[in-house]
């Protein structure tokens, strides 16, 4: 079967992820992955630069791509993409690519989280999404870290080193942030505050997964998969009360949506090619007198 090189563009609220993937129909390999933070810039400009940088790394010309697939919430890929895929299906496909054993996915993005139940082919069987409150999202944890003067890559280690968590509100992000302000004024250690934040987010994520009737193993995608402190708290929550669930992560978890988009793009390209080949040839026009 013909090998296709496809690009997946995951346009999120805080960053744009690009995956360039080779797919021969029987298997796929990732040629390159690229991430660019938006940081209050025009997302269209960021997208163009990210795609160009990824293609440069992969040594692929845009014209040689079999499909450019977009996913995520932003519409900035219009005019660049060949087609668009729903984020849930892309994260499901990307999760199975990164960890074939996965049967549930927790996609924790900057603004919300969703739990997805899947089969071995990455077909979505059930799903649940968080409410509008941001207390279980990446943006929430970034805001807390910024207030505490901690780099986001330091959060996990500080949380894991804490002797105990300092409880915070798990209902509302605004109330939780108010709790943190009060904790700082009382001299509570930064690590204990972060551990409390992680416990609060883990409770919400575990509840979300169980409401979707998630099954083990669970693959975490999105940026928070790299937060070791949160993953430790989530693993603890998902082993409570029996029915323990295995929580999996991958170094490329943040790229799962982009990888899944590229893989679905290859599937769609093959279907389009097959449909063209199966279409009857146009009948010749009768000569005129």
Torsion sign over Cα 141, 258, 126, 244? negative
Q: pTM here? A: 0.90
Q: In 3-state terms, the chain is what percent helix, strand and coil (to 5)?
A: 45, 20, 35
Residue 200 resides in a domain: yes
Query: In the prediction, which pLDDT does 83 show?
Result: 93
Residues 201/230, Cβ–Cβ less than 8 Å = yes
Q: Which residues of the chain have pLDDT under 50?
A: 289
pLDDT of residue 277: 87
- Do 152 and 89 lie in one domain? The reply is no
Taking CA atoms, 161 is separated from 94, 168, 229, 235, 237, in Å, by 32, 18, 9, 16, 18
Same domain assignment for residues 107 and 225: yes
Q: Determine the pLDDT at residue 241.
A: 64
The answer to whether residue 235 is domain-embedded is: yes
With respect to residue 170, please indicate whether it lies within any of the assigned structural domains: yes
- pLDDT of 150 reads 92
CATH of the domain at 167: 3.30.420.40
| 16, 64: one domain | yes
Could you give the number of structural domains in the chain?
2
Q: Are residues 269 and 222 in the same domain?
A: no
Domain residues for the domain of 42 are 4-94+253-278
Residues 39 and 138 in one domain: no
Per the domain annotation, does 167 fall within a domain? yes
Whether 182 and 234 share a structural domain: yes
Residues 6 or more apart whose CB falls under 8 angstroms from that of 150 comprise: 158, 190, 194
What the block records as the tokens of 190 is: 């930064």
Answer yes or no: is 190 within a domain: yes
Q: What is the structure's pLDDT at 13?
A: 83
Q: Are residues 87 and 136 in the same domain?
A: no
β-pairing, 4-11 with 15-23? antiparallel
Q: Indicate whether 217 belongs to any domain.
A: yes
Give every strand in the sheet of 15-23, ordered side by side: 28-37, 15-23, 4-11, 67-72, 83-84
* Alpha-carbon gap, residue 20 to 5, rounded angstroms: 7
The reported pLDDT for the residue numbered 59 is: 96
Residues 140 and 229 in one domain: yes
Output the CA angle 32-33-38, nearest 5 degrees. Answer: 145
Same domain flag for 148 and 26: no
Q: Is residue 288 part of a domain?
A: no
> Is residue 112 one of the residues assigned to a domain?
yes
Q: Same domain, yes or no, for 104 and 243?
A: yes
Looking at residue 234, what is its pLDDT?
A: 94
pLDDT value at position 159?
94
> What is the pLDDT, as a whole number, of residue 280?
81
């Amino acid at each position: 079967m013909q090998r296709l090189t496809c690009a997946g563009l995951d346009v999120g609220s805080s960053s744009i992820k690009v995956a360039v993937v080779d797919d021969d129909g029987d298997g796929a390999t990732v040629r390159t992955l690229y991430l660019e933070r938006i940081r209050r810039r025009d997302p269209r400009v960021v997208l163009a630069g990210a795609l160009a940088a990824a293609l440069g790394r992969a040594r692929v010309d845009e014209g040689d791509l079999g499909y450019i697939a977009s996913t995520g919430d932003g519409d900035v890929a219009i005019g660049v993409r060949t087609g668009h895929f729903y984020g849930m299906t892309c994260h499901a496909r990307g999760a199975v690519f990164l960890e074939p054993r996965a049967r549930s996915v927790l996609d924790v993005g900057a603004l919300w989280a969703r739990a997805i139940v899947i089969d071995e082919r990455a077909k979505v069987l059930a799903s649940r999404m968080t409410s509008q409150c941001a207390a279980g999202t990446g943006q929430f944890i970034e805001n807390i870290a910024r207030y505490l003067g901690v780099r986001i890559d330091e959060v996990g280690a500080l949380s894991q080193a804490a002797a105990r968590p300092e409880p915070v509100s798990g209902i509302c992000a605004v109330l939780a942030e108010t709790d943190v302000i009060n904790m700082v004024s009382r001299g509570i250690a930064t690590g204990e505050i972060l551990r409390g934040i992680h416990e609060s987010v883990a409770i919400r994520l575990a509840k979300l997964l169980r409401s979707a009737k998630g099954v083990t193993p669970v693959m975490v995608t999105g940026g928070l998969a790299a937060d070791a402190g949160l993953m430790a708290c989530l693993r603890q929550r998902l082993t409570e009360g029996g029915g323990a669930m295995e929580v999996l992560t991958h170094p490329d978890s943040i790229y799962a949506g982009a990888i899944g988009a590229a893989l679905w793009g290859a599937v769609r390209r093959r279907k389009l090619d097959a449909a063209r080949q199966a279409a009857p040839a146009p009948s010749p026009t009768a000569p005129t007198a």
